[in-house]
Amino acid sequence: MLLIRHSCRANSAVRTTSVAGELFVASVVICMILASFGDAVDPALLSEVGLEFAIFDFGGELSVLAMRHWHLLQLLLAGAAGAFGIFVLRVFAAGLLRILRPAGRRAIDKVPISL
């Protein structure tokens, strides 16, 4: 029996992990998949088939970024940066949506406009 099975929270980690934790792991997984996308395309191919391929092929773009050579620690750092970026975007988007939402007709902070 694994040690993690002794903890209820760790045993059902798929349900108990916090949103931030899930966002971080999901970002790391996406970075891992993108790194293998870069790994699947030979950068030498870019010079053979030209700029068009480099522009339109996503894998080619990523291999230009040399993501294919990234190690686990680099992927973790990139995942953390990505998760932080998404978190900041979410906060800003929530703030923006709150500003754009009209106040209720009888709300106290409604600016009275009378002609």
Give the number of residues written for the chain. 115
Nearer to another protein, 74 or 103 (CB): 74
Residue 72 near another protein by CB under 8 A: yes
Quote the CA–CA distance of 39 and 42 in Å, as a whole number. Answer: 7
Among 41, 61, 67, 82, binds another protein (CB under 8 A): 41
CB 76 within 8 A of CB 26: no
* Residue 48: its H or E element: helix 44-49
Structure token digits, residue 8 = 């209820």
CB of 32 to another protein, least distance (A): 5
Residue 106 near another protein by CB under 8 A: no
For another protein, the binding residues (CB under 8 A) are 1-18, 21-22, 24-25, 28-29, 32-33, 36-37, 39-42, 59, 71-74, 76
